[in-house]
Amino acid sequence: MTALRLKNLVKRFSDLQIIHGVDLTIQPREFTVFVGPSGCGKSTLLRMIAGLEEISDGDLYIGDQRMNDVPPAKRGIAMVFQSYALYPHMSVYKNLAFGLETAGMPKDEIATRVQKAAEILQIVPLLQRKPKALSGGQRQRVAIGRAIVREPQIFLFDEPLSNLDAELRVQMRVEIAKLHRELGVTSIYVTHDQVEAMTMADKIVVLRAGRIEQVGSPLDLYNRPANKFVAGFIGSPK
């Protein structure tokens, strides 16, 4: 069974069309990267998959279930954003626990999940700190931890590393790829950074102005770009 299927997805904001009929199939455990210039619709597409943005037309399937009208919390998806959006007045522990508490999960199960996520991300010593006492990289780990505690099947990342410095970005890329493999999840990762796309992806989806230009492995795109735009973006002359 496929993990995710997008069938002719369309997004309009009033009469302005932003996403123009996107078709895409994603297999379980695949690491898919959406890449394309700023404003091409990467975040909008991700938000439609997450259920944070209504689908104007077309169908979205997760597994064999049509998800168009299913609320975000019931899609088995967790999203990690660029702005960490941590609650400043809460400890790291509370930041990780809060969503689960709101969902009514028993305290001991929350404690188990938070501990497990904190171990995976190596932030156990930070659990009692407030976000302002964390470095950028530590904050980003907490943001990822908030996704992990929900134990989703699908992770969506929207440019999660763009606020970090170059060195940390490289380190976090490796960590996210490792996490993806170890958790056995399906991930979609949005970036406008070609290097990130080339080094992290099983499959790259190149977007331009709300349409898919090409889908393929990093090697496919590098060796056989479909057009000048893809070639320019991936960095191989055609």
Residue 44 engages ligand ADP in binding (rule: CB under 6 A): yes
Among 22, 24, 40, 110, binds ligand ADP (CB under 6 A): 40
- Strand 186-191 versus strand 154-158 pairing type: parallel
Tokens of 43: 């975040």
Instruction: Tell me the C-alpha distance between 238 and 226, whole Å.
Output: 9
From ligand ADP, Mg ion, none, which one binds at residue 41 (CB under 5 to 8 Å depending on kind)? ligand ADP
Positive or negative, the Cα torsion across 51, 53, 54, 55?
negative
| From 39-47, 55-63, 86-94, 140-148, span contacting ligand ADP (CB under 6 A) | 39-47
Backbone phi, psi, residue 105, to 5°: -75, 140
Nearer to Mg ion, 18 or 154 (CB): 18
Q: How far is the CB of 119 from ligand ADP (least distance, A)?
A: 33
What, of Mg ion, ligand ADP, none, does residue 164 touch, CB below 5 to 8 Å by kind?
Answer: none
Task: Report the b/e string of 35-71 with b at 16+ CB within 10 A.
Answer: bbeeebbbbbbbbbbbbebebeebebbbeeeebeeee
Burial class of residue 88 (count of CB atoms within 10 Å of its CB; 0-12, 13-18, 19+):
exposed
Residues 11, 209: contact at Cβ < 8 Å?
Answer: no
Measured distance between the N- and C-terminal CA atoms of the chain, rounded to whole angstroms: 36
Task: Single out the residue of 4, 24, 26, 41 in contact with ligand ADP (rule: CB under 6 A).
Answer: 41
Among 32, 43, 186, 191, binds Mg ion (CB under 5 A): 43
Nearer to Mg ion, 43 or 194 (CB): 43
Q: Binders of ligand ADP: how many residues, by CB under 6 A?
A: 10
Picked from ligand ADP, Mg ion, none, the partner binding residue 145 (CB below 5 to 8 A depending on kind) is: none
Q: How far is the CB of 155 from ligand ADP (least distance, A)?
A: 17
> Least distance from C-beta 101 to ligand ADP, angstroms?
30
Which tokens in the block code for residue 218?
Answer: 């990093």
Tell me which stretch binds ligand ADP (CB under 6 A): 36-44, 164-172, 176-184, 198-206: 36-44
C-beta separation of 190 from 41 below 8 A:
no
- Give the residue, chosen from 42, 113, 141, 180, that forms a contact with ligand ADP under the rule CB under 6 A: 42
| Binding interface with ligand ADP (CB under 6 A) | 13, 18, 36, 38-44
| Binding interface with Mg ion (CB under 5 A) | 43
